Amino acid sequence: MPELDRPGSRVPKFPVMVRQGDVLLVPVDAIPDGATPVARDRGRVVLAYGEVTGHAHAIKAPGATLLADEVDRYLRLRSQAVLDHEEHAAISLAAGAYRVVIQREYEPAPVGSRIWRPVVD
């Protein structure tokens, strides 16, 4: 049973994963030293773009930074921020560090070729 914030509370004390459509944010203790900042798009940190609509999973807060290394992307929030998307409810995010995971789906393919592709809203 997880430790709770206060007696009788149902809010867990540990960090929780957050999903908005095809984007999953997984709390991490630290961002790898080799991760470098990714440029903002029109003042926003964009976690994922829509395939056709131009919609984006994005954060406008000035304390948000997207970083990437050779393997993964990470989000650093110096303070609470809001994750917005035109087709999903806004989500309030706690300050901290997150690994950004884009949902994948299986795509039948010949043996030895790529069989997973990212899901795009």
Residue 16 is predicted with a pLDDT of 80
pTM over the 0.95 mark? no
Q: How far apart are CA 3 and CA 10, in angstroms?
A: 10
Q: What is the pLDDT of residue 89?
A: 86
Q: Which residues of the chain have pLDDT under 50?
A: 1-5, 119
Measured between its terminal Cα atoms, the distance across the chain in Å is: 35
Q: Which two tokens stand for residue 48?
A: 């994922």
According to the model, what pLDDT value does residue 88 have? 79
State residue 3's pLDDT score. 43
Alpha carbon distance 6, 28 (integer Å): 24
Give the per-residue pLDDT at 1. 34
Q: Which amino acid is at 99?
A: R
| C-alpha span between 26 and 17 (Å, rounded) | 5
